[in-house]
Amino acid sequence: MKEKFLIYLNKLLDFIYKKKCYICGSSKECVKVCSKCYSEMTFSTFGVNRAIDGVEIYSAGVYEKNIQKMIRGIKYHRQKELAYYMAKFMWEYFSKVCTDVEYQVVPVPLHKSRRKKRGYNHMELVANEFCKLNGFVPNYELIKRIKNTKPQYKLSQQEKLKNLENAFKVDKSKLLDKPVLLIDDICTSGATFGSMIKELKLNGIEKITCFAMSSPEW
């Protein structure tokens, strides 16, 4: 009852304050991402994007326009509500390519100092919404980021690999009896997934799939 009331109250407040679409600014639908902007996001080809160490990597959309704006919004401008739309888009893609496996969903972790600075890990928010849609189980504890790495986009391919060397640590006591689905916002060089795959495999964890919200178009 209380929950229903809160949902109603939220809708009422959205209506009174005319919630605007974060992407186009329209307040017609009183939502964070309007149906027009949502439908403009481009899906990637449905299928494996590439493989690293025998692990399949999937990517839901092309990193441009609306997807780019959403990722920047949730990452740098505290637009946490965008998590739902990212998760929805990811599930619309993933439900077409995945088989009936139930995964433990592991978002790429942030180093504790960066997490503290930002106040949250946006990929945890996305994982949480994603699991609500498909009944998968989120797992935020399996892998920790033990090295405070530099932002990857500034570095060359060689530097990226060096930067991520020994950046992650698996806590095997947190492993669930399900295959691992690693999720991230963008996959460009694949260095982050690669480093996590390496650490998981060192711990004997072999059933891994990687899934990014977006990649640049190949």
Which residues of this chain interact with Zn ion, rule CB under 5 A? 21, 23-24, 34, 37
Phi-psi region of 99 (alpha: psi -120 to 50; beta: other; left: phi over 0): beta
Local structure of 103: helix, strand or coil = coil
Q: How far apart are CA 142 and CA 170, in angstroms?
A: 6
The kind and range of the H/E element at 57 are strand 55-62
Taking the least distance from each CB to Zn ion, the nearer of 34 and 210 is 34
CB of 14 to Zn ion, least distance (A): 15
Three-class SS state of 18: coil
> Whole-number minimum distance, CB 68 to Zn ion, in Å?
14
Closer residue to Zn ion in complex, CB, 39/158:
39
- Residue 23 C-beta: closest distance to Zn ion, Å: 5
Least separation, in Å, of the C-beta of 75 and Zn ion? 19
CB 182 within 8 A of CB 201: no
Residue 199: helix, strand or coil by DSSP?
helix
Q: State the nearest-atom distance from the C-beta of 30 to Zn ion, in Å.
A: 12
Closer residue to Zn ion in complex, CB, 24/30: 24
Which is closer to Zn ion, CB of 27 or CB of 128? Answer: 27
- The smaller minimum CB distance to Zn ion, of residues 22 and 58, is found at 22
d(CA 206, CA 202): 9
